[in-house]
Amino acid sequence: MATDDYPTTQGMVAAGLGISLVPLLALDRPHPGVVVRRLRSNPPIRRILAVVRAGAQDEPFVRTITEALRTVADSHVLRTPSRA
């Protein structure tokens, strides 16, 4: 099966329909019926990009928003899932 909806993915795993790879950002609320494990070596890398209108990258509000997004993303990447 394929889905872009991570809660649905976790539900399918909890129902015994298989295993899944999900990004750490998708594990803010792990499903109680799943066990989360980190991959041991060479985990896939997910890149998240902000796209802005050409010439707008130096606007103060764009810099503020992109820095806030970076801060939030970094805080999620650095934390450990509660069920790891």
Question: pLDDT (tens digit, 0 to 9) for every residue of the chain, 84 residues total?
Answer: 888 899 999 999 999 999 998 888 788 889 999 999 988 888 777 787 889 999 998 999 999 999 999 898 888 665 545 444
Query: Residue 79 carries which side chain, given as an amino acid letter?
Result: R
Q: Which of 37, 1, 33, 8 is nearest to 21 (CA)?
A: 37
pLDDT for the residue 2: 84
pLDDT for the residue 41: 81
Return the structure tokens found at 58.
């130096």
Q: What predicted TM-score, i.e. pTM, was given to this entire model?
A: 0.58
pLDDT for the residue 77: 65
Give the CA count within 13 Å in the CB-facing half-sphere of 40.
0
pLDDT for the residue 84: 43
pLDDT for the residue 83: 44
